[in-house]
A and B are shown apart, each in its own frame.
Chain A
Amino acid sequence: MSTTTLLIRKELMYLFRNLKFTWVTTLILVLVFAVVYPGANLVACIIGPYMLVYGVMAHEEQSHSDVLNYTLPVSRRELCRSKYLLGMIYTLVVAIGVLGILAIGMQLAPTRYEMFRVLGTFNVLYILIGGALTYTALIIPIIYKFGCIKMRMIMALTYGVVFGISFSVTNILKEVIPQVSEDINFSLIGGCTLTIGIIAYVISYVISLNILKNKEYK
C-alpha cells in the first residue's frame, strides 16, 4: 500500500472509529440542510466535506498529533496529497448522497423541487461538487497556514456568508429559471462550476504544498 493510501486509511480509521461526534454531527447537518429546505443543498454539500476535513485537522492540532504525522516515514507532499484526496472523496460521497435525497424529493414533492428538475441531474451534481471543491480549496491552505483554532471565527463568518449567498441565489433562480429556462444553457453553468472547483482545488493544493514544505513545529 502506498504511503498516501496509508495516510488516508489512518485518517478514515480515526474519524469513523474515534471521532464519532464529528461524523455523526456532519451527517445530521447534511441531512437537515438537504431535506428541510431544497435551496440549501449546496450548503449541505459544502458543510459535509468541510466538517470532516476540519474536524480531524482540529483534533490533530489540539492533541498535537499533527506533529506525529511529520515524524512518520512520510513526505510532506504525501501528507498534503492525502488531505486533498480525502477532501475529494468526502465531496463526491456527500454530493452523491445529497443528489440521492434530491432525487427522492423530486419523486415525493415534484413542485417543491421544480428548479432542480429544470437544471437537470448532472448539472446539479456538477454544481454541488464544484461548490464543495471550491470551499474546501479555500479552507485547507488557510488551516495549514494559520491553524484551526485561529480560524474558527472566520469559519463561522464564512458559514453565514455562504448560507446567505446560497439562499439568495436559490431564491433568484427559483424566480428566474422558469421564465428563462429556454435561453439558459444549464450544462454550461454546471460545467463551469465544476471546472472552477477543480481549478481552485489544484491551485489550493499547490499553495498548501508550499506552506507545508516550509512549516515548522516550534
Chain B
Amino acid sequence: MNVIEIDNVKKTLGNFTLDIPHLAIKEGYITGFIGQNGSGKTTTLKLIMNLLKLDGGQIKVFGKDVATESKQIHEQIGFVGEPTGYMTEATLEQTKQMIAPFYKTWDDALFNKYVKAFQLDTSKKIKELSQGQNKQAALIMALSHRPKLILLDEATANLDPVIRAQILDILMEHMQSEEVSVFYSTHITSDLDKASDYVVMMNNGKVVLYEDKETLDSKYLIIKGPKKALNDTLEKELIGIQKNAFGFEGLARLSENMAKTLGNELICEKANIEDIMIFTQRGSRK
C-alpha cells in the first residue's frame, strides 16, 4: 500500500515548475528524497502538507485528498520543516503543553524518553537552543504523537555529524517500535546510505530516479575508459557522460545489454548515491 500518492501534480513558483506525473511512496519504509538545492524537494513536501496549493493534479495521503482533508491527515503526520516554526519565546515544556492537546495520540512518556535521549533542557526557551538542539526538539514534537507518517524537510542540514547521527538513530529506533513511514528530504547523501529503503531523486522539478536502495547499491556503476572504447551503443547506455582528453566516465544502470557492451578496456566502479546524483544532474544539463 502507498502512504503518499502524487498524480499529475503541477506547481509553478516564479520561474520554477514542479511537474510530477506520478509518484507513490510505499507505506512502512524510509524513503529518501534527494536533489540539489532548488530541485523541488521542499515544494513537494509543502504541497503534501497543504502549505502550498496545487496548480493541477492531486495528492493523497492515507488515501485522503490533502486539499480537502488536511485536518484529518495532519493528525497522523509528524512534520519537521525548515524553519521548524516553534514559538521562540516558549520553552520546550511550554511548547508541549500548547501543542500536545491537538493530538489524540500524544504520548507524554515517549516525549520524555526522547528528551532524555537527546539530553535537552525543557526549561530553556526555543530561541536559546542551538540549531542542532532546535532540530532535535522539533523531531521530538513530531514523534511524540505517534504519527503514521514522518515528513522531514532537510532535518539534518547544517548539523554536525554527531547530532546528525543522533537524529538518524532516534528515527531508526522509532521506526523499529512503531509502524511508521518516513519520507525525508536531504542533500546529504551519506544520510541516505545510513537510513533509507527507497530513494527518490529530483532534478529541475521532475522525478528523475525512484529506486530501492538495494538496486542503487548493486546495479549502478561508474564506467571509465579510453575514448576509443566509447562506441554508440555504450554511449546510449551511459548517463551524464563526461569526456576529457584522456577518456570518458559515465553512470550506467547495469542491464543485460550493458553487460554485453563492456569490454576489457573499461573500468567499472560501484556508484554511491552521491555519484548517481552528480551524474544524473550532469546528464540533464545536455
Contacts and interface: CB of A to CB of B under 8 A. Distances in A.
B88 A63 contact: yes
A83 interface: no
A19 B89 contact: yes
Given A65-B87, A214-B53, A216-B51, A75 B94 contact: no
A72 B89 contact: no
B64 to A, nearest CB: 12
A74 B89 contact: no
Contacts of A72: 74, 99, 102
A75 B49 contact: no
Chain A interface size, as a band, is 20 to 34
A75 B71 contact: yes
B89 A18 contact: yes
Interface stretch (A6-14, A84-92, A93-101, A143-151): A6-14
Interface in A1-58: 1, 3, 6, 9-10, 13-14, 17-19
B79 A73 contact: no
A117 B127 CA distance: 50
A218 B85 CA distance: 14
Interface string B55-86: 00000000000000011101101010101111
Contacts of B77: 71
Contacts of B127: 63
A73 B13 CA distance: 26
A71 B94 contact: no
Contact of B89 (A3, A59, A78, A216): A59
Contacts of B101: 1, 6, 9
A75 B88 contact: no
Contact of A71 (B52, B81, B89): B81
Given A71-B51, A73-B71, A18 B87 contact: yes
Contacts of A216: 51-53
Contacts of B206: none
A70 interface: yes
B98 interface: yes
Nearest to A77: B71
B102 A14 contact: no
A67 interface: yes
B50 interface: yes
B97 interface: yes
B90 interface: yes
A70 B51 contact: yes
A144 B71 CA distance: 20
Contact of B87 (A14, A71, A214): A14
A73 B142 CA distance: 12
B13 A13 contact: no
Contact of B102 (A13, A18, A74, A218): A74
Given A73-B75, A218-B46, 8 more contacts: A14-B89, A70-B51, A71-B49, A72-B102, A73-B74, A75-B70, A78-B71, A216-B53
Interface of B: 13, 46, 49-53, 70-72, 74-75, 77, 79, 81, 83-90, 94, 97-99, 101-103, 127
